[in-house]
Structure 1
Amino acid sequence: MHKTGRGYRQNGDHGRTGIACAALCIIAILMTSLAGAQGQAEMGQSIYTRHCARCHGADGRGGPMASMLSVPPRNLTDRAYMQARTEEQLFEVIKHGGSALGVSATMPGFGQQLSDEQIWDTVAFIRTLPGAASTARSQPEGAAPGDTPTGDLRIQRLSVSIWPEYDDPRVLVILRGELAPQSPLPTRIRIPLPKGAELLGAGMISPQNQLLNHPHERLEGDTSDTLVLTVPIHRFFAEWYYDPFGEREPARQFTYPFALPYAMAQLDVDILQPDAATDFRITPAPMREDIDTRGGKHHLFSYRDLQPDAVQTFEVAYVKTTDAPSITKSQAMSGDLPPGHPQVSGLSRSTKTWVAFAMVAGFAVIFAGGVLVFRNKQLAPATVPSTMPAFSASQAAIATGQGKTPETGVEADQPEKTAEMGVEADQPEKTAEMGVEAPNYCSNCGRQLQATYIFCPGCGRSLQA
């Protein structure tokens, strides 16, 4: 320790120098980290060529292996798709594979082969491809990959079925939805769940209308929970039970408020009356009603152009003296579901009536057409059309290999061609009586004729009978 004033000042100078060096080190580290997050496109190009080009192509539009894959690789020049992806999302899918964002697992992860810095370099190069520049916002802190801001997501159509005591003493809720065509994919959808609800399944609906469970999670809340569903395609579903009744009294009622944090072009709600229920009431009053082929009564609502978080509340009340549901669990588990269920292609009674009417009308038209065709055949003349050269009796005899030709007197069993027919006499060609065409030639010039000729194209002779 220096006791002189100079000595203290020297110690202070060393301290300031140390602080400055530390600050420079921190700045260098931050700049290195920032550079790593941004990536260097020049470095990423060689990595992309080595690991990505075989499937995605050197230009991002597809490589030599693209046609061999069950799921085609992403076109990295798709402007609408790429502009909706953040750098963080691209980093995650390169590092962990397609399943990280709920897309095809055909896209492998490269986290074991590439460092984070190399992956960021690859992302930087991908952004240089035509149409791949990003306009998407970076993920908010704490947001999961694939999250889409609610203002950017729109539901094209959503159907909600609320079926109390259908195959269970609780209320069954069934969602079927479709995102608007311009919605970015993959994305995450947040659906409110009643507290204590039993989630039966959630995922996507395939082009073949199959319900496929897909990655989802449940976030616990104070008064309700949230289902976070990852979807790589536009159609999705979710199903759950919940029990709003408490004590099982004959007079039962519940209130179901429904809202989503997204704009909806169309919302359809179907509330099914339990089979054994009486004095069934809904507030608001249903817009229309329908009866399915099982006899179930559906109370239907339809809404258009709903804003985010718009709440539709339904109050249901009825009297039911038994706890037995409308159908049994075994029916539901075996797939022997009554028509009207969203998973069954059954028709409602009114729709079936129209289908039956259309079928009867169709059969009537077919029957009438058959009768007309039959009558026309009965009334049609048996003579050969005038445009067809008719066989004479002598020609028919020659064609069947019998008799002599009237002009030449050649025996029919001699292998010579007749003057009129040009048919070898010992070959029993097809006859006029059989209604089958035989080769024909002009008796004047020998030119072969077609059945539709009226005049000989060789000499001009009329071929009319």
Structure 2
Amino acid sequence: MINMLTKIKSLLIILVLTLLLPVVSPSSVLAETPGLKATSFDVSVKPEYDDPRTLVIYEGNFVNSGTAVIKKDTPISFIIVKDAEIGMACELNAQGGHECQPYTTKDLADNKVELSWKITKDLQPNQKYPVFLEFYYDNKATAPNKTFDYTFTPTYNLDSLKLTITAPKTATNFTISPSASTTQTDQEQLKNYVFNYSNKTPNDPVTFKISYTKNDNKPSFDKPQTGNADATASKKSTSSLNNPALLIGMLVFVGLLVVLLVYSLKKSGKPPVPPKGTSHKNQSSHKNTNTNINANKNQDSIADKKKKIRQMLLDGKISEETYKELLQDLKNE
């Protein structure tokens, strides 16, 4: 009887574990996006490239290979290293531009994380969906003899997988196990070890053991500052708009600008004073001539002023209400 209870408990434990496995298994992602697969997928692994950590880049051309529409807001997911710093998680538009998306992460087993974002449009059957994902992580290798493992786990069926591992610029004795199918030197004079695979599935991860000698953690190149500078400038701009003192100063400046503009417009509408010593006849003739000239000039001036006022509205320097008031002032002149 006791043996029977023990066997029943064992079977129940096995059953529960079997049911729980899909929760943490990368292949569960396939259930979230049925029909989605990658016709081509590139993975670049670059230790100490422009950062002491390892840079990893995913680039994939996905397609809806099913017969049903994949709906907008359906999640797309990728397996990455735990504690990675995400640089970009983006869809690519028709022009190749990066449209980065808000993403979520979920811890998995074996020091891995599932990163997901929501597809922003319906994907019709055979419609393409290109993506780009970039992150940095600390591989924990220590100088001078550095060694670390890297594993790539597909989350979808991949028709073609190209995985490239780039040796740091000053590294020596660089080795990878298993050996690369091809090696090549790129335009930056870095040596790339290339692996090509076909028909990879979520149940078929690839693992590499990477070793090299390097006495420091200095990256091969300095990290470009353009993106960080733009982000900093954007952050400063946003925080400036939240500063009440600065907002008040801007409003006062705009108010003074409007007052000066109105004063200038009114002043330009005054009739000219005839010069002394001019006869009445000459004055009359001169006045008529000046009237015609000033009328033409005034029309041109009003058109120019309307353009300037319109531009101020478009630039956000005046409100729509102020814009209408200034137009009315011009009509009344």
Contact 2:30 2:155 in 1 (8 A): no
Identity of aligned residues (%): 29
Q: What does residue range 104-253 of structure 1 map to in structure 2 within 5 Å? A: 149=32, 152-182=35-65, 184-186=70-72, 187-222=74-109, 223-232=111-120, 234-246=129-141, 248-253=142-147
Q: Distance in 2 between matches of 1:265 and 1:147?
A: 15
Q: Distance in 1 between matches of 2:50 and 2:94?
A: 27
Q: Distance in 1 between matches of 2:226 and 2:42?
A: 20
Correspondence for 1:405: none
The CA deviation string for residues 358-407 of structure 1, in whole angstroms up to 9 with x for no partner, is xxxxxxxxxxxxxxxxxxxxxxxxxxxxxxxxxxxxxxxxxxxxxxxxxx
Q: From the superposition, tell whether residues 269 and 162 of structure 1 become closer, same or farther in structure 2 (CA, over 3 Å).
A: same
Q: What does residue range 293-312 of structure 1 map to in structure 2 within 5 Å? A: 293-312=187-206
Contact 2:36 2:64 in 1 (8 A): no
Q: CA deviation at 1:333?
A: 4.5
Correspondence for 2:298: none
Bigger Rg, which one: 1
SS at match of 1:157: strand
The number of residues matched between the two structures is: 189
Q: Distance in 2 between matches of 1:179 and 1:196?
A: 26
Contact 1:253 1:316 in 2 (8 A): yes
Q: Which amino acid aligns with 1:211?
A: H
Q: CA deviation at 1:261?
A: 2.8
Correspondence for 1:259: 153
1:275 to 147, 169, 175: 169
Structure 2 unaligned runs (5+)?
Answer: 1-28, 122-128, 230-333
SS at match of 2:180: coil
SS at match of 2:83: coil
Q: Distance in 2 between matches of 1:185 and 1:155?
A: 17
SS at match of 1:169: coil
Q: CA deviation at 1:215?
A: 2.7
The CA deviation string for residues 4-40 of structure 1, in whole angstroms up to 9 with x for no partner, is xxxxxxxxxxxxxxxxxxxxxxxxxxxxxxxxxxxxx
Structure 1 unaligned runs (5+)?
Answer: 1-145, 336-465
The CA deviation string for residues 425-451 of structure 1, in whole angstroms up to 9 with x for no partner, is xxxxxxxxxxxxxxxxxxxxxxxxxxx
Q: Distance in 1 between matches of 2:226 and 2:47?
A: 15
TM-score of the two chains, using structure 2 as the length reference: 0.53
Correspondence for 2:22: none
SS at match of 1:265: strand
SS at match of 1:326: coil
The CA deviation string for residues 211-267 of structure 1, in whole angstroms up to 9 with x for no partner, is 221131111335321101222360111111111125x32100111111123211011
Q: From the superposition, tell whether residues 253 and 205 of structure 1 become closer, same or farther in structure 2 (CA, over 3 Å).
A: same
Q: What does residue range 326-341 of structure 1 map to in structure 2 within 5 Å? A: 326-330=220-224, 333=227
- The root-mean-square deviation of aligned C-alpha atoms, in Å, is 2.3
Q: Distance in 2 between matches of 1:274 and 1:280?
A: 9
Q: Which amino acid aligns with 2:38?
A: I
Q: From the superposition, tell whether residues 243 and 302 of structure 1 become closer, same or farther in structure 2 (CA, over 3 Å).
A: same
SS at match of 1:154: strand
Q: Distance in 1 between matches of 2:30 and 2:63?
A: 16
Q: From the superposition, tell whether residues 181 and 190 of structure 1 become closer, same or farther in structure 2 (CA, over 3 Å).
A: closer
Q: Distance in 1 between matches of 2:164 and 2:191?
A: 10
Q: Distance in 2 between matches of 1:185 and 1:316?
A: 40
TM-score of the two chains, using structure 1 as the length reference: 0.38
SS at match of 1:322: coil
Contact 1:155 1:180 in 2 (8 A): yes
Contact 1:188 1:231 in 2 (8 A): yes
Q: Which amino acid aligns with 2:120?
A: P
Contact 1:167 1:332 in 2 (8 A): no
Structure 1 runs of 4+ off > 6 angstroms? none
Q: From the superposition, tell whether residues 321 and 283 of structure 1 become closer, same or farther in structure 2 (CA, over 3 Å).
A: same
